[in-house]
Amino acid sequence: MRGRGTDAAGFSLVEVIIAMFLLGLIAVAILPALWRGIQLSTQQSAVATATRQLNSLVEDARQSPTCTVIANAVATKTGFSDGSGRPFSTEGVVHGSCSAGSAISISLKAVQGGSTLASIDAIIYVPATS
């Protein structure tokens, strides 16, 4: 049986198998970190979607600020969904009483499965009618 000559190039089958085994170990070690990254990305997408929706409700109320519009903005609303298609709802509270010529403080939050995704506090000025 002859040994490898000095001009033999390439890897032997044993070297390839060892390299594949080592790469497999590295892949298995990295897999939990990749999975956690995907979970965090999904969660952050839901928070971003909820925040955009809450900001939209506040901006809609600021476009025509009346007590009725503000009450509608803080009313519980359903039918929203995040990037994964999971539903969430919005609800809010008006702090104090609404009257023309005053600034109204509101708090809104987006809820999904019993947990709060995002919350926002805003002040909306209701102008006096002329």
Domains parsed from the chain with CATH numbers: 13-126 (3.30.1300)
Specify the pTM. 0.74
- Tens of pLDDT, residues 38-78: 999 989 999 999 999 999 999 999 998 999 999 999 999 99
pLDDT at position 3: 60
Which of the four pLDDT bands, split at 50, 70 and 90, describes residue 4?
low
Burial label, 106 (beta-carbon count in 10 A; 0-12, 13-18, 19+)? buried
pLDDT at position 6: 62
Question: Does residue 51 contact residue 120 with C-beta atoms inside 8 Å?
Answer: yes
Which residues on adjacent β-strands are paired with residue 110?
Answer: 90, 118
